[in-house]
Amino acid sequence: MTENDSEHLPVLLSETIQGLSVKADGKYLDATFGRGGHSRAILALLSDNGRLLGLDRDPQAIKTGQALAAKDPRFSIEHGNFSELNTAVHARLWQGNVDGILMDIGVSSPQLDDADRGFSFMKDGPLDMRMNPEAGLSAAEWLATADMDEIADVIKTLGEERYGKRIARAIVETRDEHPITTTKQLADLVDKASPSRDKFKHPATRTFQAIRIFINNELEELTTALEQALDVLAVGGRLAVISFHSLEDRIVKRFFRDEARGDDLPSHFPVTVDQLNPRLKVIGKAIKASEEEIKLNPRARSAVLRIAEKLA
C-alpha cells in the first residue's frame, strides 16, 4: 500500500470499477480525483492506449494527481470543479467519446482529517470548509455576515437539522460578542444550542455538513456535472456516482430516473418507450457498502453508488 492509499480508502472500489465496465483502450474521467484511489484502480485495467483524466478543485488533490501523472503517461489531471468537466473534455477532443465517468461526491477523508481545512469538529482548526481554499468565502467569513434567516435556511435545508433556527440565532448572538473563527467555537456553540442529543451523532454534525455543502455550492455543482456527463459520454459509456448525503443521492436518483424515462409526454400518447428518446439506462439498484467495508472504513456507511449507461 502506498502512502497515498493509506491516507484515503476509496469507497465501494470494486463495485465502482465493476460498474464502469472498464475497456482496456477506453477514455475515462475521474471527475473527483481526491487522492486517486479510484483512478489507480481504473489505470490498472487500461492498456497503453487507454487514457484517464482526473479533475479536482482541491490544490492538495492536484499535487497528488501531478505526481501520478509524472509516473504514468496514460493519466493527466486538471484543476477545476467537476461542473467544468465539459471544458476539460472538449480541450482533449473527447466530446462524445468518453467511455466512463466517475463522480465521488462530498468531502474526502484527508480533507476531514486535516484540521487546517476546517471541515471537521473532531480537531480544532480555522473555520474554512472550502474545497478550494484559494476561491470564494470561507465558512467563517460567510457566518460573519449572513443574516439569521439565511443561516437558518441553510442549516435546516442542507443539513436537515430541525433546530436550524435555534442554532442560527445562537450564531448571530455569539458573533455580536466575538468572531466565530474556529471549528471548536462553532461546534461548542451548536452543542449548547441543541436541546436534544443523538447518541450516535455529535450535535454539530448536521450543521457542519450543511455549511460545507453551501460554501462549496455542492448540490448545484452536482446537477450541472450530471447534465454535462451525458453530453460527453459515448453511447454505451457508463456513469458511476457515489454520494454520501440523502440530498445528493436524491438528485442522482431523480436525474437517472428522468433520463431513463425520456420525453415527458402525457401517458395516453400512443408512443413506444423507444420513441420517448430515453438517454440513460439504469444499471442495477443502488449499491451500499458491505459490513466488511464499513468495519475497515466507517465513513463508507452512508455511501450510495448508482450506475447508468448512455443510450443515445
Q: Is 38 annotated as a binding residue?
A: yes
Any known ligand binding at 249?
Answer: no
**Residue 65 annotated as binding?**
no
Distance of CA 220 to the CA centre of its chain: 11
| Annotated binding residue 36 | yes
Q: Closest Cα partner for 233 from 281, 286, 272? A: 281
DSSP secondary structure code for residue 182 in this structure: B
Secondary structure (3-state) at 2: coil
What Å distances lie between residue 66 and 55, 85, 95, CA to CA?
11, 18, 23
* Separation of alpha carbons 24 and 36, rounded Å: 19
Report which secondary-structure segment, H or E, holds 79. strand 75-79
Phi first, then psi: what are they for 257, rounded to 5°?
-60, -45
Is residue 266 a contact partner of residue 241, using CB atoms and an 8 Å limit?
no
CB 26 within 8 A of CB 34: no
Beta bridge partners of 103: 241
Cross-strand pairs, 27? 51
> Does the annotation flag 37 for ligand binding?
yes
Helices marked H in 94-160 = 109-113, 139-145, 148-159
Residues placed in the known binding site for S-adenosyl-L-methionine: 36-38, 56, 82, 104, 111
* Feature table: binding site: 36-38, 56, 82, 104, 111
